[in-house]
Chains A and B, each alone.
Chain A
Amino acid sequence: MTLPFAPWADPAAEPLIDLRNVTKRFGAFEAVRDLSLTIHEREFFAILGPSGCGKTTLMRMLAGFETPNEGQILLDGQDLTPIPPAKRPVNMMFQSYALFPHLTVEKNIAFGLKREGIPKDEIADRVTDIMRLVQLTDFARRKPDQLSGGQRQRVALARALVKRPKLLLLDEPLGALDKKLRQETQFELMNIQETLGTTFVIVTHDQEEAMTVSSRIAVMRAGELAQVATPTDLYERPETRFVADFIGEVTVLEGRVTTASRGGVGLAAMEDAPDLRVMTEDTPPAGTTAWLALRPEKVSISAARPDGADNALSGKVLDIAYLGNISTYHVELANGTIIKAQESNRQRADRRGITWEDTVWVTWEEDAGVLLRA
């Protein structure tokens, strides 16, 4: 049995990248604020966050195009701050690809190796190898403007990878591709990353993409880290409402903790309804405000009240979002709260029972949701 890949869980492991209390200001504006983070070798690390939260700024500091105002960035224990971009074992794949328009695919890829002064034969070998890896061999003599978006993206990737950097930065690499090509490329990226064992840091807007490719995800918010965790943990155990809301769909119910015992609490979320039963390890004291985050796929919907459910509430179907394989039902409770419930569509749409305006029951188990304290 092989152990799962989780060097971040090992306190003795030396991180590849160590950001220590990094702050970056543009004028008075703090684009990145007191941010600390470690990234380990062979990780596929994703940075996720709303527009303007400082993702690109963080990447540019790693590449060396911006200097932190405060704090340190260490690579293999060495301070990167005084090292110019050209001398860092870090390469970046730009959002615009930034291919050199006057050079062929081959020469674009060889560009970085030539600057290193590597012998000609070795350059030729390495360029050939990397072109095979990213399936560009047939396009070696073309100019960037004779390539499709997906091919250009692969040239940009090859050009950065051929330098064999310790760290590869990808700033929204797949932003310009359509959904299908995007998914294919995601898997290609994962394969390449596994083949070469390079550490990847990828910035994306697309949470699905981050969930698919990465070993860990950092969610950023206004220049700070909201949470750093594996995709599963981030989805199943978000720490804040922001993270819960940012990753996937969620219903958040606000309430007051009434009874607190080890392993579970009662949450008074609405008047004239019994307290919700929530299982949690981190029990807040009674009387405080807390939030229950519920993923729609963990909430069931039925016409009749089912027996034995831990939590059951009745409401009216307000809206049905039909997504083909699944449907999301928006159920409005008597007090106006909306709870989302998801059912997979095993039957054809015209044969299913529940429709708009129906009175239904939504139910979930006490361990279905997560209790949040912020």
Chain B
Amino acid sequence: MTNRFSWFSATSLTLGMAFLYLPILILVVYSFNESRLVTVWGGFSTKWYGELFRNEAFLDAAWVTLRVALISATVATLLGTLAAYALVRAGKFRGRTLFSGMIYAPLVMPEVITGLSLLLLFISIGMDRGITTIILAHITFGMCFASVVVSSRLVAFDASLEEAACDLGCTPVQAFFYVTLPVIAPAIVAAWLLAFTLSLDDLVIASFTSGPGATTLPMKIYSQVRLGVTPEINALSTLLIGFVSIGVILASLAGKRAAVET
């Protein structure tokens, strides 16, 4: 192990990590800044966190974002998995190529267009814009990503595993739950995480589809930053980072456990 981990890989790893995480680290450090001036260090303090938790607007936004992300990621993963299963497994049905092409299209579609078209749809069917419309919009694009992630795993999945399960006494439904699902579980977890994170940090689509009273955190941050960066924003971002990291770690642990057990 030691000799494979040469100075070359050590250096490139350090550089890569620095490139990725230095800006974030700076943000985290300044969130503990005593001074109101963002770029001048005035000693350690957690007062901005206190400020943040007294800021109703931020807390509301955080609650909206969390609900949107949880619901949309879960529904998107469910629908995305079903779509992937149908596309990979159901064999050739009429319009399969069209369908699979269409499911990937939103991945490459500019977000502005997705947002705008959803907005037009909601207006034309007379739907009041608010948290529901944001959730629907996030399900739409989250599902595409989820189905891509799950289907890449399903393609590699040996179909004879399901036949073997049936041969050993499973009904097709049992075969899916005892064999297919555990085998593709890591991909489903990854798909959920992806959909969750995408929903957390989406600004464009949420802006198009939200209405009065439904402001997500990215929207809130964006509107605040236009008035100037405050240490409060740094504190908020630090919390977001912590939240996402814990989520990722938990999910990967769960994925590993699922792979070991059962």
- Chain A positions within 8 Å of B, measured between CB atoms, are 63-65, 84-86, 90-92, 94-96, 98, 100-103, 107, 111-112, 115-116, 159-160, 163
Contact = CB atoms under 8 A, between A and B. Distances in A.
Complex A-B, nearest 6 residue pairs according to Cβ-Cβ distance, in ascending order: A115-B169, A112-B168, A98-B164, A98-B160, A102-B182, A85-B166
Given A103-B262, A115-B174, A98 B166 contact: no
B167 A96 contact: no
Contacts, number: 61
B51 interface: no
Contacts of A111: 165, 168, 178
B107 interface: no
Contacts of B170: 86, 115
Given A65-B163, A101-B183, A115-B174, A96 B169 contact: no
Given A98-B161, A115-B174, A85 B167 contact: yes
A43 B193 CA distance: 54
A100 B179 contact: yes
A28 to B, nearest CB: 17
Given A102-B262, A103-B262, A94 B164 contact: yes
Contacts of B179: 100
Interface residues of B, number: 20
A352 B45 CA distance: 98
Given A96-B158, A100-B179, A102-B182, A86 B163 contact: no
A115 B168 CA distance: 8
Contacts of A98: 158, 160-161, 163-164
Contacts of B182: 102
B168 A63 contact: no
Nearest to B259: A102
A91 B167 contact: yes
Given A65-B163, A94-B163, A112 B169 contact: yes
Interface in B192-207: none
Interface of B: 158, 160-161, 163-171, 174, 178-179, 182-183, 258-259, 262
Contact of A100 (B163, B171, B183): B183
A92 B163 CA distance: 10
Contacts of A100: 161, 164-165, 179, 183
A101 B262 CA distance: 11
A96 B159 CA distance: 10
Nearest to B174: A115
29 contacts: A65-B163, A85-B163, A85-B166, A86-B166, A86-B168, A86-B170, A91-B167, A92-B164, A94-B160, A94-B163, A94-B164, A95-B160, A96-B160, A98-B160, A98-B161, A98-B164, A100-B161, A100-B165, A101-B183, A102-B182, A102-B183, A102-B258, A111-B165, A112-B169, A115-B170, A116-B169, A159-B168, A163-B168, A163-B169
Contacts of A91: 167-168
Contacts of A95: 160
Contacts of B178: 111
A72 B178 CA distance: 32
Given A92-B163, A111-B168, 17 more contacts: A64-B167, A65-B166, A84-B166, A85-B166, A86-B168, A90-B167, A92-B164, A96-B160, A98-B160, A98-B164, A100-B161, A100-B164, A100-B165, A102-B262, A111-B165, A112-B168, A115-B168
Contacts of B160: 94-96, 98
A46 to B, nearest CB: 21
Contacts of B258: 102
Nearest to B185: A102
B167 A86 contact: yes
Given A65-B163, A94-B160, A86 B169 contact: yes
A127 to B, nearest CB: 13
Nearest to B169: A115
A285 B161 CA distance: 56
A92 B174 CA distance: 18
B188 to A, nearest CB: 13
Contacts of B167: 63-65, 85-86, 90-92, 160
Q: Which of A92, A95, A160: most chain B CB closer than 10 A? A: A92
A116 B183 CA distance: 22
A112 B174 CA distance: 12
A107 B258 CA distance: 14
Nearest to A65: B163
Contacts of B166: 65, 84-86
Contacts of B165: 100, 111
A85 B163 CA distance: 9
A160 B178 CA distance: 17
A95 B182 CA distance: 22
A107 B167 CA distance: 16
